[in-house]
Structure 1
Amino acid sequence: MYDVIGAGIGPFNLGLAALLEDIPETSALFFDKKKEFAWHPGLLIKGTDLQVAFLADLVTLADPKSRYTFLNFLHEHDRLYRFYTFNEFDIPRREFNDYLSWAASEIKSCRFGSEVIDVKNAGGHYDVSVKNIEDGSISVYQTKHFVMGTGSEPLIPAEIDDEARQDTMVSTEYLFRKDELAGAESITVVGSGQSAAEIFSDLLQDEQYRRCRLQWVTRSAGFRELETAKLGQEMFTPDYVEYFNRLPFQERLNTLPELDGLRHGIDSDTLAAIYDALYHRSISGGSPDVYIQPMAELEKIEKQNGRCVLSFHQWQMDESFTADSEKVILATGFKPHIPEWFTAISPDIEWEDEKRFKVTADSRLVFKDDRRHHFFTLTNLDHAHGTGATNLKLSVYRNQKIINTILGREHFSINKKTAFQQFLPARKN
């Protein structure tokens, strides 16, 4: 009987495993069907940085003395002096991936090549069925508590016919399938977030694609810069999450679009690099073969005469148009990945609407029966925890609360003064 078992080993569950490793009285297992840890490997483009400071690692904001800090990773790999001279808070994404992979290999509770295929309530605990990917064998584990950290999957916003799918890739496949783009006469990137911008910038600045027509199209009103004002960043603090979680459901939904600029935007350096590349190409009468179009929603992709034809709707002018492209890259965001086995649990929990389950402040699903063996979720939390639900910094705070609930005591002291702003109405002393 384990204290906790988790499905999925991404940064969130990996951070939970790291914190539990230093609590000897707990027993835990975390499973992932991948053969080894990988954090969006198809998007680890050379020169791209993490969009949060390195302090938002797996453990530092809860326990800076842990051996699983990013700084200790640098120390273990003889890179601490070089990092000091590097003198940056935003670190290379590839190095952060190396750090996560190192932690996953060191933490004893992580099991790769193993997929959770079922979770059943067994009266006071859960029976978790796990399939060995290599030989197909199935083992059943018992646990007092369960954590679903199954992450996200690419969001495909349009209808794509079977032939066009062969020449269409999602952003997470970019580096794996980049060789397929070689020699293409035209490439279209769809999307307006950081991933779309990084892919477009990578193609724009690669001499190999100098004669390729590059197209960048998005339904968003513009290619907006990510909001980085310090007071704005206080929306990624425990103080704000606790306030947001106390709002009525509909008010939470109404608030989410107002917070979009803090998460759904492009780093200013990336935008500057794209503009500079376009400008240099235009010197001396040059005309870069580039087409950039906001406010155009992709409706479908179909193959005609050996090329992909993309149908768009310019929503502001209410006009439709098409664009031809040899290859298409969809960087159109992500949606929560909810595993098939969760369907059997759905009738037992409370829902806020048809898509969003009810979640407590410590990330527990709310069951119709008053059970004491908890089911936590790190997936599909925007409606409960706000735009910071996918923020690395807040994952540590969330894991602290989960561990405190599992232990039934305050093992981690939760910081109370994390923002200068006051979100709740002022009260007289």
Structure 2
Amino acid sequence: MGTPVVYDFIGIGLGPFNLSLAALTDRVKEIDGLFFEQEEEFVWHPGMLIEGTDLQTPFLADLVTFADPTSPYTFINYLHTHERLYAFYFFNQFNIPRKEYSDYCSWVAHQLSHCYFSHRVTNVIETKDHLYQVTVENLLKKEVSNYLTKNLIIGTGSIPMVPKGLDEDWPNNDISHSSEYLFHEKQLKSGHSVTVIGSGQSASEIFYDLLLDQKNHDYELTWFTRSSGLFQKEDAKLGKEFFSPEYIHYFHQLDFDHRLEALDSLNQLRNGIDPETLKKIYNLLYHRSISGEKLNVTIQPLTEAKKIEKIEKTYHLHCQQWQQEKKFIHQTEKVVLATGYKPALPNWLSQFADEIIWEDNKRFKVTENYQIDFKKKKTNHIYTLTDIEHSHGASATNLGLSVLRNQKIINSIAGKKIYPEPTKTVFQQFSPKH
């Protein structure tokens, strides 16, 4: 019986963040690893690939370019390979259509031999030798295997978040989360009334899609948002510098309470709506209002939906206009909950809970190199790309900074600079020089 293979790392999950890591490590000979994903193939937010919607980040923020623009896995090479380079040039847009970004990521995933789909990680234990034994179920063959690795990288992403009071097990064709919008679009549009709840980009895109098709189905359309207004995302160039390596470093040095305060102050940078989407909504409403046409549309901010109950064929939303403290009931046949996402941390991580340093009762401490911080320092690490907003700021879910995160992780695992990290990317500074 031979010596078991010990990998330098194993990545758990294959969303864009770990897929970027897989693409970058594919050309690195100094370290070797595997990636496991329980889904059958890569599809990026399939329920939200609405025709005409774009990413909110430029095409340069692909899986590899910021670290290695010569990589065969750039978006530009994807276009070249698919004979779409001239079409994208004439398209004359910096942002990538959402569907094309999903296709691009799938194209990369199919080329990477160390990425395994339909493989679910069911458990992780630490061995006496301070390695990690990873138990993996092959969902197609119904086989279970164990792998040894020095380091783990958690890239399990997020899952839909539904507020308490709205989270009963309703029929998906009547009440669905925005992440599944396209799966239930036909049934949602068959109702006499549709209500969208939420304030972010997803809510605005779904509302616009429903507004476009309203004349074909004649439903009453309502949009409630808890926020104090429908505000556009900060689009100023200096404002975007808060999504930079320098700001991540500055943010990480703050104490926990100041980091949480900083997240709140950057809310418009993080959660605002694309100005073009708001413009399209307003323009369509304006054109339909000509000649006094009845719109049959309600848009109401400052409104929180607290409870859903079904009475006969309709759903009663128990709402409150929180600024005026006025409660009311809104009746609707269909509801789309664009209420965001929460981190999807694996169950096996709980067995390490007593060893981890916690910043509060639910958020673990994370080093600047994305290692979960333990009370007793480890030589082999658990890195995380999931649930790091409290430690690394607004960049946590930003595709434009996923490559930087992976550069740091690769360099940390290799113990040397495989990918040089940028040192001067912005024109402003975030703390005094002296």
Whether 1:16 aligns to 2:21 is yes
Residue 141 of structure 1: aligned partner: 147
TM-score norm. by structure 1 comes to 0.97
Structure 1 Cα separation of the partners of residues 176 and 33 of structure 2: 37
Residue 66 of structure 1: aligned partner: 71
Code of the residue aligned with 1:258 in structure 2: it is: S
Please point out which of 120, 129, 133 is paired with 2:125: 120
Residue 262 of structure 1: aligned partner: 269
Please tell me whether the aligned partners of residues 173 and 188 of structure 2 are also in contact (alpha carbons under 8 angstroms).
Answer: no
Residue 389 of structure 1: aligned partner: 396
Task: Report 1:261-300 matches (<5 A).
Answer: 261-300=268-307
Residue 3 of structure 2: aligned partner: none
SS at match of 2:241: helix
Task: Report 1:178-217 matches (<5 A).
Answer: 178-207=185-214, 209-217=216-224
Structure 2 Cα separation of the partners of residues 61 and 242 of structure 1: 18
Structure 1 Cα separation of the partners of residues 361 and 278 of structure 2: 38
Structure 2 Cα separation of the partners of residues 349 and 199 of structure 1: 40
Q: How many matched pairs?
A: 427
Please tell me whether the aligned partners of residues 44 and 102 of structure 2 are also in contact (alpha carbons under 8 angstroms).
Answer: yes
Residue identity (%) = 50
Whether 1:401 aligns to 2:408 is yes
Please point out which of 93, 98, 118 is paired with 2:103: 98
Code of the residue aligned with 2:219 in structure 1: it is: C
Please tell me whether the aligned partners of residues 62 and 74 of structure 2 are also in contact (alpha carbons under 8 angstroms).
Answer: yes
Structure 1 runs of 4+ aligned residues shifted over 6 Å read none
The change in CA–CA distance for 1:187 and 1:406 in structure 2 (over 3 A counts) is same
Please tell me whether the aligned partners of residues 260 and 390 of structure 2 are also in contact (alpha carbons under 8 angstroms).
Answer: yes
Residue 159 of structure 1: aligned partner: 165
Structure 2 Cα separation of the partners of residues 165 and 18 of structure 1: 36
CA shift for structure 1 position 263 = 1.6
Please tell me whether the aligned partners of residues 174 and 188 of structure 2 are also in contact (alpha carbons under 8 angstroms).
Answer: no
CA shift for structure 1 position 134 = 2.6
Please point out which of 334, 337, 354 is paired with 2:361: 354
Task: Report 1:342-381 matches (<5 A).
Answer: 342-381=349-388
Give structure 1 stretches of 5+ with no counterpart: none
Please tell me whether the aligned partners of residues 158 and 298 of structure 1 are also in contact (alpha carbons under 8 angstroms).
Answer: no
Please tell me whether the aligned partners of residues 252 and 392 of structure 2 are also in contact (alpha carbons under 8 angstroms).
Answer: yes
Whether 1:223 aligns to 2:230 is yes
Residue 303 of structure 1: aligned partner: 310
Structure 2 Cα separation of the partners of residues 318 and 328 of structure 1: 23
Code of the residue aligned with 1:146 in structure 2: it is: L
CA shift for structure 1 position 135 = 3.9
SS at match of 1:231: helix
Give structure 2 stretches of 5+ with no counterpart: 1-5
Whether 1:41 aligns to 2:46 is yes
Code of the residue aligned with 2:113 in structure 1: it is: K
SS at match of 1:313: strand
Over the aligned positions, Cα root-mean-square deviation in angstroms equals: 1.2
SS at match of 2:54: coil
TM-score norm. by structure 2 comes to 0.96
